[in-house]
Amino acid sequence: MSYYLSPRFLDKLAVHITKNFLDLPKVKVPLILGIHGRKGEGKSFQCDLAFERIGVEAVYMSAGELESPDAGDPARLIRLRYREAAEASKVRGRMAVLIINDIDAGMGRVDSSTQYTVNTQLVAGTLMNIADNPTNVQLPGSYDSEPIQRIPIIVTGNDFSTLYAPLVRDGRMEKFYWEPDRADRIGIVSGIFSDDQVSRSTVEQLVDTFPDQSIDFYSALHSRLYDEQVRKFIESVGVERISLRVVNSTEALPEFRPPDFSLPHLIELGRQLEREQQRIQELRLVQQYHASLQQPPSGTGTPTTPNPSFSQSPSGNGSSASYASYSSGNGNHGNHTQNSTGQNSTGQNRASHLTAEAGQQIEELANNGYRIGIEYVDDRRFRTNSWQCYSLTQGNASAAFNDLEACLREHQEDYVRLVGIDPRDRRRVMELVVQRPGSKN
């Protein structure tokens, strides 16, 4: 199988790695390159292809190694792996890198409820210290006065805004947002189907049919093509005997013929994968399974449901009237009153209309002591459910209302939704889209 390496990706890595091995006059080169982007876009795999192409020795770490029951172990491991890469470069006479995959999963802080340990602090401090002194990296309990080879560090992740801010500043980390364009997608998908004699025109139509899917979607699609033949093989052997037939059997494993790679068949299987993705987002069965555990915070006296709606007013105290008090009593809402033509003074009728309906829901969440989140997403990422957080408030209806109106003004062409979060167990009790862009309202 021939794999596709994006020229943009290769250029970024080649320049960053080479700069760190050169002695540029009076130039401070960031030691760390942070590659971030959506899940499943092949960041780590593109790194592997680039390392092979450039001829780089790579020393790997994963996010799971950034935490330990023993304080200080992950920080020590980072220093050990860094010195290991430096030694490999010295002994083998080649460039080397230290790569940490999915760093935000290991040390990212999503919200105030994320556990923040001593190791998280030590890992951030260690990486900052190495970035500032790349040739003087010592192991605990020893000191080596001999400078070591400077080794660039590559980190991958989805959301670097969850990392410690001083670590990702420009002097220490150079950022590269990886989002394959259409040419990259066609090249990568062509590589996936390269051994199957799938024409380029078929690949192009397949990519254009699923433009918002990540790269791993097409790899999963390729794997699913063989399900029918595997199913027939299991039926011919028998489910009871398939384990003995496949593992440690004297009989040779069967050869599978090429499946149907026609465009209609590929699209059909792709639609099946899409429907499975949508079911995950829509079902949220955990809210039903834990309905008996959903009790209101102490002092509220009002039961809540997993998915409250605008039409409900469980508090029974006139949410609409309370919303009116927001509009008239808060200076931030004064510029949304309507004039004689039926238009508000800022031209934001749609935002005012939507927030008027949302006022009931916001007050209900606030009265029950829930956190109120505002999230937004553009049309393309809406289909992959990649929402971005705009604000998060704790039981403050007025502040949440201000945030919602501000979000609606700033993201008039985006989807906007309200999120209610139970602070006790960080469980989402409500997700409700309050704005759909354009004609979709």
> Residue 383 has what pLDDT?
76
Comparing 63-67, 161-165, 288-292, the range with the smallest average pLDDT is 288-292
What SS3 state is found at 207?
helix
Fold exhibited by the domain 296-334+348-440 = Ribulose 1,5 Bisphosphate Carboxylase/Oxygenase (3.30.190)
Residues of the chain with pLDDT > 70, as a percent, come to 80
> Residue 353 has what pLDDT?
52
User: Average pLDDT in the 173-186 region?
Assistant: 94
Q: How confident is the model at residue 255 (pLDDT cuts 50, 70, 90)?
A: confident
User: Average pLDDT in the 216-227 region?
Assistant: 92
User: Average pLDDT in the 410-419 region?
Assistant: 89
The yes-or-no verdict on residue 401 having pLDDT over 90 is no
User: Average pLDDT in the 4-8 region?
Assistant: 94
Q: How confident is the model at residue 287 (pLDDT cuts 50, 70, 90)?
A: low
Burial level of 9, CB count in 10 A (0-12/13-18/19+)? Answer: buried
User: Average pLDDT in the 391-417 region?
Assistant: 87
The yes-or-no verdict on residue 249 having pLDDT over 60 is yes
pTM score over 0.85: no
d(CA 433, CA 435): 6
> Residue 366 has what pLDDT?
87
Q: How confident is the model at residue 338 (pLDDT cuts 50, 70, 90)?
A: very low
d(CA 420, CA 371): 6
The yes-or-no verdict on residue 309 having pLDDT over 60 is no
> Residue 113 has what pLDDT?
62
| Pairing between β-strand 173-177 and β-strand 96-101 as defined by DSSP bridges | unpaired
> Residue 90 has what pLDDT?
93
| 8 A C-beta contact, residue 79 and residue 61 | no
d(CA 50, CA 260): 32
Q: How confident is the model at residue 112 (pLDDT cuts 50, 70, 90)?
A: low
User: Average pLDDT in the 88-114 region?
Assistant: 88
Q: How confident is the model at residue 357 (pLDDT cuts 50, 70, 90)?
A: low
* Nearest alpha carbon to residue 10 among 222, 187, 163: 187
Q: Which two tokens stand for residue 251?
A: 């009989």
Domain with CATH 3.30.190.10 in the chain: 296-334+348-440
> Residue 283 has what pLDDT?
67
Q: How confident is the model at residue 397 (pLDDT cuts 50, 70, 90)?
A: confident
The yes-or-no verdict on residue 34 having pLDDT over 80 is yes
More confident residue, 12 or 394: 12
At 204, which amino acid appears? E
Domain with CATH 3.40.50.300 in the chain: 7-177
Q: Which CATH superfamily is domain 7-177 in?
A: P-loop containing nucleotide triphosphate hydrolases (3.40.50.300)
Architecture of domain 182-283: Orthogonal Bundle (1.10)
> Residue 267 has what pLDDT?
93
Q: What average pLDDT is seen over the chain? A: 81
* Nearest alpha carbon to residue 193 among 269, 117, 140, 135: 269
Measured CA to CA in angstroms, residue 284 lies from 279, 316, 370, 429 at distances of: 8, 28, 19, 11
SS3 content of the chain, % helix, strand, coil (to 5): 50, 15, 40
What SS3 state is found at 39?
coil
What SS3 state is found at 202?
helix
d(CA 360, CA 321): 9
* Nearest alpha carbon to residue 149 among 51, 81, 58, 83: 83
Which region, left, alpha or beta, applies to residue 93 given φ > 0 means left and ψ of -120 to 50 means alpha?
left
Q: How confident is the model at residue 123 (pLDDT cuts 50, 70, 90)?
A: very high
